[in-house]
Structure formats: C-alpha cells, structure tokens
Amino acid sequence: MTTADALPPGLVTALRQARYIVALTGAGVSAESGIPTFRDAQTGLWARYNPEDLATPEAFRRNPRLVWEWYAWRRQLVSAAAPNPGHLALARLERLAPRFTLITQNVDGLHQRAGSTSVIELHGNLLRVRCSAEGAVYTTWPDVADPPPPCPACGAPLRPDVVWFGELLPPEALERAWRAATTCDLFLSIGTSGLVEPAASLPRVAYASGATVAVINLDVTDAVEERLFYLHARSGELLPALVSAAFPDADAVTR
C-alpha cells in the first residue's frame, strides 16, 4: 500500500512539471464519503438487488417504481454525504495546475460540491431527472404517491438523468474526455476499476499518446514502470499528500 510518506518521487515530479493534467475518477473516490461503490456489498433494503440489474433501461421499463426508488435512496445517501479529502485535493489541483481537466464516472455531484468548477460528467448526475420520452431535463420534480412522477410537458415517466448500462454516453462529454486524454501529459486514474467502457480506455489512450499514467485504487499492487505508476491507496489519503508534495509552496495559501 502506498502511504502518504512513501510517495513515488517520480510521480511527485511528474505532477509538479505537468503542463496539462487530466484526472478520471470513479466510485472509489466517493467511497470515503460513505457512498457505496457498485461492487461493495449493498446494505439494508437493497442488499438483494444487483445494481447492474437496476441501472438498465430494461429494468426501468419492467419496474419503473423500483428503479425510481433505488435512485431516490442513492440520492438521499448523496445529500447526506460530504466531499472527502480526495475530492478536495482534486479541486485544489485544478487551482494549482497550469491546465487541468476532471472527468468523472460518478453521478453524485461531490466533485462540484468540493469546488471543482469544470467537470466532465460521463455518466450524468442523479440530482437531475429527465423525461423518458423526450429527454427534457429537470432539476426539480413533484413528490407523487406512485413514482416515477410524470413529465410536466408530456406526462411520460421521469427517469434519473444518468447513463444506464447498455446506453450511449453523452457524445459531447465523451469527445471532450477523449481529446483531454490524447493531449495531456499526466493522466490520473483514481478509484475506478476500469471495467466500464468506454471510460476504461481513457488511461490506455493517454498512455499510448505519450502521457505518464498513474492508477490509484484498492485493486492494484504498488508498481512503477516506464511512465506508469500503480498505487494501492485510498484516494482520500493519497491525493492530499500528493498535491501537497508537488506544490509545497502553495500549501499555506490554498489549503
């Protein structure tokens, strides 16, 4: 496990010298805020459901109420949660790096709440809903006895504004993410298992385009190769230490 006092010096230097840093985040970044990853055991009421059977268009067609209620439960968890030191370190890195792009697969909005201002949301955001027929997006909706509530314009059921398994990513977000991965000089892949495409390809694309790549999660074993760092670490512990090590002079003013 990489700890705060054993950071690979090559990665600290790469972070300090990078002209363009891109970070891709996944569910692991929010785990320390108490938001379960899909692979964590689900708790309580929802333990018997497999998230991959709920986060699909078929599940919503089969049982819209069940899917709506699962998202309502997740929305509640997110509202009660707070950004953790990992989210805050990424917001700080945005302010310190010459150029920085944050790409997230998370749908919880915690990066924005931590202060990140420019976030590419590849999988949408569960704090928004949209019309399942016409796509109009809403940030408020009525509470109804038999959810999901109807679209105020056409009456079709509202659904969470997220990308479900088997659906296409928003093309503009994907295009921006791809461009960032192919033009950065340092790419950080944080808290993502790299199993969900096309996000999973972004670190490979960045590496193939010449960037240094660091993979930070609890699945990998610590290793350093040419332009490649694997760090088995919790993002809430590692990221603040990494940013402070790379930008020690900025510590006093921007923490």
The residues binding ligand NAD (CB under 6 A) are: 26-28, 30-32, 35, 37-39, 105-108, 123, 191-193, 195-196, 217-219, 234-236
Residue nearest to ligand NAD (CB): 28
Contact 184, 213 (CB under 8 A): no
In angstroms, how far is CA 39 from the centroid of its own chain? 15
Catalytic residue (one of 87, 111, 123, 232): 123
Tokens 């420019």 -> residue: 118
Nearest approach in angstroms of CB 88 to ligand NAD is: 14
Choice between 78 and 131, CB closer to ligand NAD: 78
- Is the N-terminal amide bond of 198 cis, ω within 30° of 0? yes
Instruction: Please tell me the distance from the alpha carbon of residue 255 to that of residue 240, in angstroms, as a whole number.
Output: 9
What is the rounded CA–CA span in Å between residue 198 and residue 122? 10
CB of residue 28 vs ligand NAD: minimum separation in angstroms? Answer: 2
Asked if 123 is an active-site residue, the reply is yes
CB of 236 to ligand NAD, least distance (A): 6
Toward ligand NAD, which CB reaches closer, 30 or 101? Answer: 30
Strands of 96-162 (E only): list them. 100-104, 119-121, 124-131, 137-138, 158-162
Query: What residues act catalytically?
Result: 123
